[in-house]
Structure 1
Amino acid sequence: MKTCSAVLLPLFVLGLCAAHASAQGAAQSAAQIAAQLDAQNRPVAAQHHEANFDAERKQANELFLADKFLESLPLYEDLCRRDQTIAVFAERHGIDLIKKSGTIADPAASRKMHNDGLAELRRAQKLGDNSPLVQTILGDAAKSPLGAILSGVPLTVGYSYQGTPQAQEALKRAEAVFATNDYAGALKFYQQAAALDPKLYTAALYSGDMYFRLKDAKNAGVWYQKAIDIDPNRETAWRYWGDVYLVGGSEPALAKEKYEQAVIAEPYGRPGWLALQKWAKAVKGTVRTPVVALPKFSTPDGKLAPDPALATETGNGHASWLVYEKERVAHGARTQFQPIVAGGSDANGQLTPTGYRHSLAEESASLRAMLLDVTAKLASGAVTQESLEPSLRTLLQLQKDGLLECWIVVNDADAGIRYDYPAYRKEHRDLLATYIDRYIVPQP
Structure 2
Amino acid sequence: MSNPGEADLTPITSTRQLAEWFAAGSKPRGEWGVGTEHEKFGFHRGDLATPEYEGPGGIRAILEGLQAKGWEPILDAGNPIGLKRGSASISLEPAGQLELSGGVVPDLHATWLELQQHLREVHEVTGPMQVGFAPLGFHPTHSRAEMPWMPKGRYAIMRRYMPTVGSLGLDMMQRTCTVQANLDYGDEADMVEKLRISLALQPVATALFANSPFTEGKPNGFRSMRGQVWTDTDGDRTGIPGVVFEPGFGFERFAEWLLDVPMYFVMRDGRWLDAAGRNFRHFLDGKLDVLPGERATMGDFADHVTTAFTDVRLKRFLEMRGSDAGSAAMIVAKPALWVGLLYDDAAQKAAAALVRDWSVDEIRALRLAAPREALGATIRGRPVREVARDVLAIARDGLRARDLGEDVYLAPLDEIVASGLTQADRLLALYHGAWGGDAGRALLHAEV
Answer yes or no: same fold by TM over 0.5. Answer: no
Q: TM-score, normalised by structure 1?
A: 0.27
Q: 1 or 2, which has the higher helix percentage? A: 1
Kindly indicate whether structure 1 or structure 2 has the higher relative contact order, using CA contacts under 8 Å at least 6 residues apart: 2
Bigger Cα Rg = 1
